[in-house]
Every structure is written in structure tokens, then in C-alpha cells.
Structure 1
Amino acid sequence: MFWKLASLSASSPVMEFYDSMPYLMAESFKRTTEVAIKVEAILDRDNFTLEELLDEEEVIQECKALNSRLIN
């Protein structure tokens, strides 16, 4: 019958995507953590400039994430 849904094989692109989800989520978390650490390192210094802070490419994302040390 033409309407019968074919079962997904273990090597299908959909299954490969689902199998890679834990890895993708871990990599995303790792990158987010690395960015936060870079911004925190700048904020921990006694003397930093606004230019140094703005040179960090993800500083806007940290503002959107409501990093209280950055906003206040």
C-alpha cells in the first residue's frame, strides 16, 4: 500500500540525528560555559576597559542571559 509508513532503519538520517543529540547538547553547554568563563575572567580583573569587554564576541549573549555582574 502506498500510504504505509516505512520503518526507520538504524542507519537512517533521522536516527543518526537522534543518536548525536547528547553530543550536540554537551558541546552547546561546553561552549556556553567557556563564554561565561571568559566574560567572568574580564570582570574579575580590577582594571578592565569597556573596549576589552566589548571585544569578547559573546558579551551580548551574556547580557541577554541577564548576567547580573555584567548588567549591574
Structure 2
Amino acid sequence: MPDGLALFLGILVVLMLVVLFGGLLLIGRRKSKSPEERARAAAGRASRSRQADLRKRRVALQRKADRQNP
């Protein structure tokens, strides 16, 4: 293997390790969310699922009405 290729691959491996460990450190140092923030996020998720349920129900009712009134 030529020396240039070995050097390039070595630098590539070192850079990949630096990025990997840097990312893991950033994930580990993230500020944990307060209970209020967690509750707000959960309420948002529930609201989105409720909106999706309402949308499904509305579409089903519209299809039913379309079938009854051709």
C-alpha cells in the first residue's frame, strides 16, 4: 500500500473517531428537560394525535355522506 494512501486512511480514521466521541460528549452534556418542559412536550404530542383522530373521523363522515348522496 502506498504511503500516501496509508496516511490518508489514518487521518480519515482519526477524524471519524474525533467526530464520534465529540458527538457522544455533546449528547451526554445536553441539559435535561425540566418537568414543565416534559409536560408541555407530552401535551403537544397528545394534541397532534387528537387532531389526527379528528381528521380521520371527519374524512370518514365525508365519505359516508358522499356515498349516501351520489
* TM-score bracket for the superposition, by shorter chain length: 0.3 to 0.5
In our comparison, the structure showing a higher alpha carbon Rg is 2
Kindly indicate which of the two structures has a greater share of residues assigned to helix. Answer: 2
Given the two structures, how large is their TM-score scaled by the length of structure 1?
Answer: 0.45
Greater relative contact order (Cα 8 A, min sep 6): structure 1 or 2? 1
